[in-house]
A and B are shown apart, each in its own frame.
Chain A
Amino acid sequence: MQKTFNNRAWLLVLPVVLSVAFSAIIPLMTVVNYSVQDILGPQQRVWVGNEWFVDTIRDAELRAAFGRNLLFSLEVLLLEIPLGILIALGLPATGWRASLALVLIALPLLIPWNVVGTIWQIFGRADIGLGGYFVNNVLSIDYNYTLEANDAWYTILLMDVWHWTPLVALLAYAGLRAIPDAYYQAARIDAARPWSIFWYIQLPKLRGVLLIALLLRFMDSFMIYTEPFVITGGGPGTATTFLSIYLSNIAVGQFDLGNAAAFSLIYFLFIQVFCYIFYTIIERVGQGSKG
């Protein structure tokens, strides 16, 4: 659509800017404040400059948590994106079955995050949970997510796939429905195989929604907190101590505000830069294929 240049449009945007800025900029400034001072008491604070930042970057445990979280996000994306596309391709397109499928698929998305944790905490237990019982007694694999590091990791991963694949599937489904019928008719005339229809028509047309899915899933899995906190509490040991859990341990548990603030700024910056680069690359690629 041809848009006219009009700076008075800022007046319409103003309520949004003000309300978001209130909850975004003031807390962010407080964090910046913590990150350069040592807060000893309500009235006592010492300027420490970049000491917290240097400290934080050298913290081996923090680096481990960072690496763990990066690996987790990578695994989440590799599992959820292809699975979501597959599900979207398999869903019925019209009729009551489509409505029912959409409602059922969206169900995990509407469960409060701590309840998602509770569901899997119950489901995975060997004594009272169906999932844990099945793995232990039917598949006879020794499985206990509160003791075994690997089991805890896979439980969280499986929970995240269960919880968030529906979002990818819904996005992909919406993208598929938006493809005009003419494309499929042309493909039929050319006697194209299903695989080439997918590769040359459906996948390129899904680029937009998949970008959203990727960004949302990356951002959210990188700051995962509530669910592992409920299921494993970060354990056993540090096996599922993701970044947010580690950060809140040092901020709330040990009250090391300086360290926590310094790292959360680095953390925030990292996600922003990553998303910006990613966003720009995909936009460029998209423009190239259009022209």
Chain B
Amino acid sequence: MKSQRRFSLGSIGIVLYFILLLLPIYWMFTMSLKTNEEILGSLTFWPQNPTWANYRTIFTEEAWYSGYINSISYTLLNTVLSVSIALPAAYAFSRYRFLGDNHLFFWLLTNRMAPPAVFLLPFFQLYQNVGLYDTYWAVALAHLLFNVPLAVWILEGFMSGVPKEIDETAAIDGYSFARFFFRIFLPLIRSGVGVTAFFCFMFSWVELLLARTLTSVAAKPIAATMTRTVSASGIDWGLLAAAGVLTIVPGALVIWFVRDYIAKGFALGRV
């Protein structure tokens, strides 16, 4: 009896939390379907005359949709790079002890702690000097700074869950290391690779300060494009909201595919 009541109280709390969680997102979504007259005219809980005009603008003007293509391009490039260089490192951390391994790990993590606002100028100078400024590569490489430590950390957790006897058996059976790694080991930690890729995608997708600094025209991210909504006649709220809604879509799609692995990904982490 008692536990029944607790349960229902908890459920009400959770439902309430989800409503509060979704309300601001819902508000932006309804706004994207309204005209500017309706937004500024009166407060309406749902659009009176739903219009797709804001979305049409984004999908037909190149200045708009190229922002999305650029953002997705460097995010995917970064995800592939992060996972492929983190795989061997995570294997090393999970299988061997070596000189300075713990210090190296803490150093990797400290790179997440650098205050970005002041490192912008050095970053800008560095990438301009090596000739990568305003390319997908510049952003993808810069984002390695915080994605690689995370990727190593998650992958190491998954790899430690695979018994070392498998490595030894494969060696006795005459597998070369490369063949063992790709044919036997990787399939065993498939879900770990999926989770890692998800987190790399997510952190690269949401980071915009570095992305904006390292690009100007050719690789301009969607965040920079969104400032176009501010003009002499004020802010185009409807367009801004539509652009915002579209930035949520790629993330929501990715998360749907990896939903069952997310919980596992953290649970098997290093700590």
Interface residues of chain A, those whose CB is within 8 Å of chain B, are 1-10, 12-13, 15-17, 19-20, 22-24, 26-28, 30-31, 86-87, 89-91, 99, 101-115, 118-120, 122-123, 127-131, 133, 162, 166, 170-171, 173-175, 177-178, 194, 208-209, 211-212, 219, 223, 225-226, 243-245, 247-248, 251-252, 257, 260-261, 263-264, 267-268, 271-272, 275-276, 279
Contact = CB atoms under 8 A, between A and B. Distances in A.
Nearest to B145: A23
B255 A107 contact: yes
Contacts of B263: 102, 170, 173-174, 177
Contacts of B121: 30, 251-252, 257
B126 A26 contact: yes
Interface string B5-16: 010001101100
Contact of B122 (A27, A247, A272): A27
Contacts, number: 277
B24 interface: yes
User: Which applies to chain B's interface (DSSP): helix, strand, loop or mixed?
Assistant: helix
A128 B39 contact: yes
B: contact size bracket: 35 or more
B92 interface: yes
Interface string B168-205: 00000000000000000000000000000000001001
A167 to B, nearest CB: 10
A174 B260 CA distance: 11
Nearest to B268: A178
B144 A23 contact: yes
23 contacts: A3-B96, A3-B97, A5-B96, A9-B95, A23-B141, A90-B13, A102-B263, A103-B259, A109-B202, A110-B206, A111-B248, A111-B251, A112-B207, A114-B208, A118-B240, A118-B244, A122-B27, A130-B43, A174-B263, A219-B112, A248-B118, A251-B120, A268-B115
